[in-house]
Amino acid sequence: MNFIRTSIPDVVIIEPTIHGDDRGYFCETFVSNKLTEFLGYKINFCQDNESKSSKGVLRGLHYQLPPYSQTKLVRVISGRVLDVAVDIRKNSPTFGQYVAVELSSENKKQMLVPRGFAHGFVVLEDDTVFAYKVDNYYSPECDRGIAFDDSNLNIDWQLKHNELNLSPKDTKQPKLSQTNEIFEYGVDYYA
């Protein structure tokens, strides 16, 4: 397994080692002690989630407030997405910046999205199956979001606006500058 820090060092790309032959392949998708050793702290994942979507579906940008904030470890089982993590930690040196990476069933990459980040993805291929681990349970009262098309974030979703399919909730999210419900930089949200 290869762990790669991104331009926002708290966001990590994980590349599994693929063992393949003419029968198929095998890879480890999650090894707790290796991740803990790399990060220097343990994440206690408690739930696995999965969604299936058509090309053009955009889910995000979502996050949960403390005490139900979540770390996500995301991957694609089938198909392809552009996955995005936005730093929403007030006073962070990378506040408002984002990391975008293509995750696919072919490249098998994963992205670790820590607490303090909004997360979203756009589906680039029909019948895409997206899976992720979380380290906290869903709380409707703590559920929040940021507008996917916030011009200050300037995210290139790789598809035209008229090709996107969003939930009603995701079409009404505030811009990052319009919300005070974000995280404080330097606070240990894992304590």
- In the chain the beta strands, taken as DSSP E runs, fall at 2-5, 12-15, 19-21, 24-26, 47-53, 58-64, 72-78, 80-87, 89-90, 98-104, 110-113, 117-123, 128-134, 143-145, 183-184
Cα 55 to Cα 80: distance, rounded to the nearest angstrom:
9
132 is a catalytic site residue: yes
Catalytic residue among 63, 98, 119, 132: 132
Cα 134 to Cα 64: distance, rounded to the nearest angstrom:
11
Catalytic residue among 62, 68, 185, 189: 62
68 is a catalytic site residue: no
- List the catalytic residues: 62, 132
